[in-house]
Structure 1
Amino acid sequence: MKKANKVVLAYSGGLDTSIIVPWLKQNYGNPEVICYCANLGQADELTGLEEKAKASGASKCYVEDLREEFVRDFLFPMLQSGAIYERLYLLGTSVARPLIAKRQAEIALQEGADALAHGCTGKGNDQVRFEVTYMAFAPHMQAIVPWREWNIRSREDALDYAAEHNVPVTATLKSIYSRDRNIWHISHEGGVLEDPWNEPEEDMYTLSVSPENAPDKPEYVEVGFEQGVPVSVNRERLGPVALLNALNELGAKHGIGRIDLVENRLVGMKSHGVYETPGGTILRTAHQGLEQLTLDRETMHYKDVVAHRYAELIYNGLWYTPLREALQAFFTSTQQNVTGEVRLKLYKGNAMLVGRKAAASLYNPDIASFTMGETYNQKDAEGFIKIFGLPVKVRALVDGK
């Protein structure tokens, strides 16, 4: 039998992590199991969590409110970067895991534990995100991953195990979706989504109304930024958590932020998931609108290139790495003048950019206007075009055209 004396388990109170508590005791020499849950905005999922953990056999359960840190130090820096994975995914699950795993490792060191455990499957990305973070903060500690050891192969098996060991769980065979929720988004996997031809069932959605059932009248919202960080909604200055909650409520009301994605996992397979990110979608659209005014062409274009790599780092669990930190320094530098206000129209699943202004705007009406002005001499374009197109002209002459 494998052995551990004290294990700190990343605990959500869901089916998988609930049955891990008695499983650890059975298979690792009856260790003390301490559960840890980070409150990142799971709402009512946190209700009764400590009691449930102890009823499953844990000696104690930490539940910590990390929402402020999550939004301020993870979500807003990611927003500044413009990172998006595979054209659609706003990385809601990916960006949360490093914070959870870091704090879990810190508690394990504080408690004198000799092992860390999580409920991620051997097929998913989360196992990488947790364990790479463990390596960054507790490299000497063993990681116990039941899904890579036990003979449970399905949610049906897990439900049977829970019943056998009197573990209180809320999952049922009727509601078989696997979900992850935080203040940024909620994800849905499994069930009918395992066939990507199937349209998601409307009652699956948790945060947002369908665009069809959204209000028939559009609603306007103004978002204020300081150096690329959102600071106000409709000119009311709000803290990070309150601001995101306000935009989540608005976005959900208008059916904004739903995506359906077949994505490429790090482990080599494709998976089908549906995501709801109402407030995050509004913020991304607003932030891009302000950058249109305040970033020069070369910086904006290069930033888009680098954001693609940054998204991969987040998705692959490499938050605590030198490259991620170096890229963040670049993104922070680009945001010095990204200060101003953006106005959006919310309507039937769409967050439409309809206005933006910034003190450091690079948009010059005198130059851009169709009305002739003194600032721009149109005759200057002739020489520029001749030089710019010279390689094309030379190639044509060589080809005998």
Structure 2
Amino acid sequence: MSDIKKVVLAYSGGLDTSVIAKWITETYNCEVVTFTADLGQGEEVEPARAKAQALGIKEIYIDDLREEFVRDFVFPMFRANAIYEGEYLLGTSIARPLISKRLIEIANETGADAIAHGATGKGNDQVRFELGAYALKPGVQVIAPWREWDLTSRESLMAYCDQHGIEVEKKKGKKSPYSMDANLLHISYEGDILEDPWSEPEEDMWLWSVSPENAPDVATYLEIEYVKGDIVALNGEKMSPATVLEYLNKVGGENGIGRVDIVENRYVGMKARGCYETPGGTIMMRAHRAIESITLDREVAHLKDSLMPKYAELIYNGYWWSPERRMLQSMIDESQEFVNGTVKVKLYKGNVSVVGRKSDDTLFDESIATFEDDGGSYDQKDAEGFIKLNSLRLRLAALKGRSPLDRE
């Protein structure tokens, strides 16, 4: 432990990381630098400065990373239409590589030789933070207190605070029983009654959205403009990436959009039940697939879809900075060159319906697709040879006694 002189801690200002800051100082006899990221979690981050100062921290970083988060992490992920196990839009997962990146940058700026985080030894986040850190600074040391100390309950953490004079903010009113994580893309809920997969979430748990039953009786329409696969304007108004997501979260939440309740397979091996609100991301996913439907070549679209589960798994498991994810990203970004245009969606009581799409780069040709007279642009007789050639192997197999009927 004596070879660690300075540690950069991912610091929220809450109970866990406040205890961690003091514990590292005492256990490792080293200096602690705190880093607090504003990723659009909806809570004021500046109070973390006073809390860190009260702990004797001299170097304190508080960074507004909202635009970088959406521009360089969320948008690239949505170009891939990434979704984990069919339902999870990776809201927590995609925030971790940015936090790791900034931890390493601050370590380089301050001459720190270690980083620290407050992720537990049962979760995915410890993997995500540390894989990112090692990819960006191979020689960095990592301190993960939850894997080292014997403070295993909230009561023991509170007792530690009492012993070491750490002030803990005691909020008035009922404390949420859930473990929550939030950023501009989503908010998650775990723990308490959610640990029983049969228990329905309580309605007052949801913070970002109204229930679909209580959503407005009148639909909301949005026009979403894309350039190279990224949203650049809503209803004709140009917006920055973070502003786009903020607006979509607001209007999506008002219409009861984006709630999911899932049991997912964690990378560390266990199944875990979580509930998520991702209103803006849900709209983005539907709209992006809609603009791709008229601008992407068929085989390019199908190849993207076949590779997407691997891409999503890489992000979920913490491999954002891996060479394979970056290779896939290059291919995905290449596919987006002509993904330009506008999608019209209707939001109504928890549903996102695509009701229109247009693009100067469309591959949709009405003169060919029409059920009316196509003017000779498509010769229907050509389909006969096409079908015969594609059925050749099936006919040969049947002639050799391999018909599915012969095997019943």
**TM-score of the aligned structures, taking structure 2 as reference length:** 0.94
Match of 2:379 among 377, 380, 384: 377
Q: 1:295 to 1:170 in 2, by over 3 A?
A: farther
Aligned mates of 2:167, 2:144 — CA distance in 1: 19
Aligned mates of 1:7, 1:330 — CA distance in 2: 37
| 2:215 and 2:348 in contact (8 A); partners too | yes
Q: How does 1:263-302 map to 2 (within 5 A)?
A: 263-302=264-303
| 1:109 and 1:138 in contact (8 A); partners too | no
Q: Give the structure 1 partner of residue 392 of structure 2.
A: 390
**1:159 Cα deviation (Å)?**
3.9
Q: Deviations over 1:294-323 (max 9, x none)?
A: 111111111011111111111111111211
Q: 1:3 to 1:82 in 2, by over 3 A?
A: same
Aligned mates of 1:43, 1:51 — CA distance in 2: 19
Aligned mates of 1:105, 1:211 — CA distance in 2: 42
Aligned mates of 1:201, 1:228 — CA distance in 2: 37
Q: Give the structure 2 partner of residue 73 of structure 1.
A: 72
Q: Give the structure 2 partner of residue 123 of structure 1.
A: 122
Task: For residue 380 of structure 2, give the secondary structure of its aligned residue in structure 1.
Answer: coil
Identity of aligned residues (%): 53
Q: Deviations over 1:40-94 (max 9, x none)?
A: 1122241411112222443332110111111111111111011111101111111
Aligned mates of 1:139, 1:116 — CA distance in 2: 12
Aligned mates of 1:230, 1:301 — CA distance in 2: 22
Q: Which moved more, 1:193-202 or 1:167-176?
A: 167-176
Tell me the amino acid that sits aligned with residue 113 of structure 1: A
Aligned mates of 2:298, 2:108 — CA distance in 1: 47
**1:173 Cα deviation (Å)?**
8.7
**1:169 Cα deviation (Å)?**
4.2
Tell me the amino acid that sits aligned with residue 264 of structure 1: N
Task: For residue 9 of structure 1, give the secondary structure of its aligned residue in structure 2.
Answer: strand
Q: How does 1:1-400 map to 2 (within 5 A)?
A: 4-29=4-29, 31-165=30-164, 166-169=166-169, 174-373=175-374, 374-399=376-401
**1:398 Cα deviation (Å)?**
1.4
Q: 1:163 to 1:177 in 2, by over 3 A?
A: farther
**1:174 Cα deviation (Å)?**
4.4
Tell me the amino acid that sits aligned with residue 216 of structure 1: D
Q: Which moved more, 1:318-327 or 1:44-53?
A: 44-53
Task: For residue 130 of structure 2, give the secondary structure of its aligned residue in structure 1.
Answer: helix
Aligned mates of 2:18, 2:204 — CA distance in 1: 25
| 1:211 and 1:349 in contact (8 A); partners too | yes
Aligned mates of 1:347, 1:99 — CA distance in 2: 34
| 2:46 and 2:62 in contact (8 A); partners too | no
**1:113 Cα deviation (Å)?**
1.5
**1:284 Cα deviation (Å)?**
0.9
Q: 1:209 to 1:57 in 2, by over 3 A?
A: farther
| 1:52 and 1:168 in contact (8 A); partners too | no
| 2:128 and 2:317 in contact (8 A); partners too | yes
| 1:70 and 1:96 in contact (8 A); partners too | yes
Tell me the amino acid that sits aligned with residue 150 of structure 1: W
Aligned mates of 2:41, 2:127 — CA distance in 1: 22
Task: For residue 41 of structure 1, give the secondary structure of its aligned residue in structure 2.
Answer: coil
Task: For residue 46 of structure 1, give the secondary structure of its aligned residue in structure 2.
Answer: coil
Tell me the amino acid that sits aligned with residue 389 of structure 1: S
Q: 1:281 to 1:268 in 2, by over 3 A?
A: same
Q: 1:57 to 1:209 in 2, by over 3 A?
A: farther
Q: Which moved more, 1:109-118 or 1:167-176?
A: 167-176
Q: Deviations over 1:113-158 (max 9, x none)?
A: 2221100111111111111111122222211100001112234433
Q: 1:191 to 1:146 in 2, by over 3 A?
A: same
Aligned mates of 2:146, 2:213 — CA distance in 1: 40
| 1:294 and 1:358 in contact (8 A); partners too | yes
**TM-score of the aligned structures, taking structure 1 as reference length:** 0.95
| 2:185 and 2:281 in contact (8 A); partners too | yes
| 2:37 and 2:45 in contact (8 A); partners too | no
Tell me the amino acid that sits aligned with residue 226 of structure 2: F
Q: Deviations over 1:265-291 (max 9, x none)?
A: 111111111111111111111000001
Q: Which runs of 5+ in 1 are unaligned?
A: none
Q: Deviations over 1:179-238 (max 9, x none)?
A: 111111111111111111111111111211111111111110110000101000001111
Tell me the amino acid that sits aligned with residue 391 of structure 1: R
**1:250 Cα deviation (Å)?**
0.6
